[in-house]
């Protein structure tokens, strides 16, 4: 046989080049900072992404150069998602919720050559601008204000394209995108995504036993495009030709639900706290929003409480639990039911749906403890390891982190989990969040998810607090729903039907809000800091 399948590499250019012939008229909708909606077609998007690629090439972009983006979810950010790698560069999404000092570190570590910045984020950019040295800075202008000195208009950059440009043919293993981890311990670490990883991830994501995405869907990239590829949904949507909705910076539940209803969104991605806020709005104002039939929302970042899944089902919004990391592009496993599980009771199905799920095709999972690889019995705990074609093999320019991978290429995730006989992963906790009391392990995740099942509880975090007798004991930090009341005794009694007495929190603390990370996850690190000086005597507990 002559030729090779590598003559047609899996790259983002191939996804882009389908647009003019296959689905040029499909719509992309973006909410702008002033609340108005920007609409254009896939063909418009294709032409502008191609103009961006040519303009960056003319500006001197070399293969592998990083182009940083400090942007919300909107059409111009989407153009960078594809235009930068289509020119041979690497689109580096900057987490706009990080501290300016951390952003400066990340831009310098990545050696970003160019930056694309939203005008509404200029106050943040100005906080670290003197600490970074990009060659050129392009501003996406949503308002007719003067450009800061030393910056250029993004639209003027596109006008430098002359047409007739042909995308270079990126090889599958060329870097296409970059994201830094949340940096909960030490400095953030950079993860590079290859063209091949992004394409294979999109294909596996869209399969019927994953999220069953098709061109008929209306996809909303609700998860931030500045972190972990917005859970991969923009790449899936552009590959399949879905109508795509981008919510901008208006991320309150009412604004999200308005878009769900007006654009008839059928699939969206978010962390549990976002879905919890959406549920609260649906319960407060039933009948206000007309959701599309067969709406699927997939939820990642942290484990989803069963109560949240059940209640959203009642509103026609079906959640699918996923698990992944920045290092896994990000989705590695998802929890859809197997065919024989349709015969199970409703309670059995819910218990399975809130597990993290089974590995996507081509992904491998295992649990390892001090005794070696654990059996798939749903009970034996160990650290979850993953391996696959869209799992990173190292961090970018980060010597000393090699021990995160085993000699045979498994990523050590740091999550403590079990795998059952059906192949479903269930995360018990992060290794640093497990509570060891009197020599026995307590899962903070299980306690948190159970607490959220109480009708008065909006959000809960459970942390280990040092104890003079038991080494550690759990303390629950709780946020109540607006207007609701609950006592420590009531919550302890509520948990007692599901947990042994020694597993129950010894104390309950009620707060107005819980701390969250830059990606919307509950920040256990911040909670542990707040309660580092906890004194059992003052709590009147032994």
**φ, ψ (nearest 5 deg) of residue 284:** -75, -35
Chain mean position to CA 272: 11
d(CA 384, CA 324) in angstroms, rounded, equals: 11
Instruction: Give the count of beta carbons closer than 10 Å to the beta carbon of residue 449.
Output: 22
d(CA 431, CA 98) in angstroms, rounded, equals: 24
CA torsion sign for 134, 135, 141, 144 is positive
d(CA 275, CA 272) in angstroms, rounded, equals: 5
Instruction: Give the count of beta carbons closer than 10 Å to the beta carbon of residue 149.
Output: 5
**φ, ψ (nearest 5 deg) of residue 314:** -65, -20
Which candidate in 441, 487, 502, 529 is catalytic? Answer: 441
Which candidate in 54, 102, 306, 327 is catalytic? Answer: 327
d(CA 90, CA 342) in angstroms, rounded, equals: 44
Residue 495: closest CA among 512, 478, 482, 483: 478
Which candidate in 284, 338, 432, 436 is catalytic? Answer: 436
Residue 322: closest CA among 210, 463, 485, 402: 210
155 is catalytic: no
21 is catalytic: no
In this structure, are residues 91 and 80 in contact, taking their beta carbons and an 8 Å threshold? yes
In this structure, are residues 358 and 337 in contact, taking their beta carbons and an 8 Å threshold? no
Chain mean position to CA 148: 32
336 is catalytic: no
Strand partners of residue 191:
179
Which candidate in 54, 79, 102, 181 is catalytic? Answer: 181
Residue 117: closest CA among 86, 82, 85, 74: 74
d(CA 57, CA 419) in angstroms, rounded, equals: 48
289 is catalytic: no
Pairing of strands 27-31, 37-41: antiparallel
In this structure, are residues 514 and 479 in contact, taking their beta carbons and an 8 Å threshold? yes
Active site residues: 181, 327, 436, 441
């Amino acid at each position: 046989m002559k030729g090779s399948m590598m003559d047609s590499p899996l790259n983002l250019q191939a996804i882009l080049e389908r647009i003019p012939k296959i689905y040029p008229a499909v719509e992309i909708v973006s909410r702008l900072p002033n609340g108005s909606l920007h609409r254009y077609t896939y063909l418009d998007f294709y032409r502008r992404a191609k103009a961006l690629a040519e303009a960056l090439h003319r500006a001197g972009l070399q293969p592998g150069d990083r182009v940083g983006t400090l942007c919300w979810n909107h059409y111009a950010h989407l153009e960078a998602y594809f235009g930068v790698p289509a020119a041979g560069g690497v689109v580096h999404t900057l987490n706009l919720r990080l501290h300016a000092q951390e952003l400066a570190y990340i831009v310098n570590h990545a050696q970003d050559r160019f930056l694309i910045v939203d005008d509404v984020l200029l106050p943040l950019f100005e906080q670290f601008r003197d600490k970074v040295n990009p060659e050129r800075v392009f501003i996406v202008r949503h308002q007719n204000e003067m450009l800061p000195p030393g910056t250029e208009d993004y639209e003027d950059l596109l006008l430098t394209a002359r047409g007739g440009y042909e995308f270079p043919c990126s090889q599958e293993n060329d870097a296409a995108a970059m994201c830094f981890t949340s940096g909960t311990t030490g400095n953030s670490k950079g993860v590079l995504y290859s063209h091949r990883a992004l394409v294979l991830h999109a294909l596996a994501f869209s399969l019927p036993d994953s999220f069953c995405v098709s061109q008929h869907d209306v996809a909303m990239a609700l998860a931030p495009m500045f972190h972990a590829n917005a859970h991969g949904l923009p790449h899936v949507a552009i590959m399949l030709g879905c109508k795509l909705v981008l919510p901008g910076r208006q991320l309150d539940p009412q604004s999200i639900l308005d878009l769900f209803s007006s654009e008839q969104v059928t699939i969206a991605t978010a962390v549990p706290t976002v879905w919890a806020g959406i549920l609260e709005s649906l319960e407060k104002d039933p009948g206000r929003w007309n959701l599309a039939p067969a709406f699927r929302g997939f939820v990642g970042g942290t484990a989803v409480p069963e109560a949240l899944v059940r209640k959203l089902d009642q509103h026609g919004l079906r959640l699918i639990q996923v698990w992944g990391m920045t290092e896994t592009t990000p989705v590695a496993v998802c929890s859809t039911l197997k065919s024989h599980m349709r015969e199970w009771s409703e309670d059995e199905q819910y218990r399975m749906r809130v597990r993290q799920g089974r590995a996507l095709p081509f992904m491998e999972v295992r649990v390892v403890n001090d005794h070696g690889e654990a059996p798939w019995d749903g009970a034996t705990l160990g650290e979850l390891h993953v391996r696959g074609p869209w799992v990173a093999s190292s961090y970018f320019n980060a010597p000393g982190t090699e021990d995160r991978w085993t000699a045979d290429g498994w990523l050590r995730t740091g999550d403590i989990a079990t795998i059952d006989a059906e192949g479903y992963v269930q995360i018990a906790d992060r290794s640093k969040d497990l509570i060891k009391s009197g020599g026995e392990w307590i899962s903070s995740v299980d306690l948190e998810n159970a607490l959220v099942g109480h009708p008065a509880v909006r959000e809960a975090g459970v942390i280990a607090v040092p104890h003079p007798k038991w080494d550690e004991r759990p303390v629950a930090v709780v946020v109540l729903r607006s207007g609701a009341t609950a006592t420590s005794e009531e919550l302890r009694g509520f948990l007692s039907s599901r947990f042994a007495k020694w597993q129950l929190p010894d104390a309950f603390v009620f707060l107005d809000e819980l701390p969250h990370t830059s990606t919307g996850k509950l920040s256990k690190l911040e909670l542990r800091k707040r309660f580092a000086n906890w004194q059992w005597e003052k709590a009147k507990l032994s």
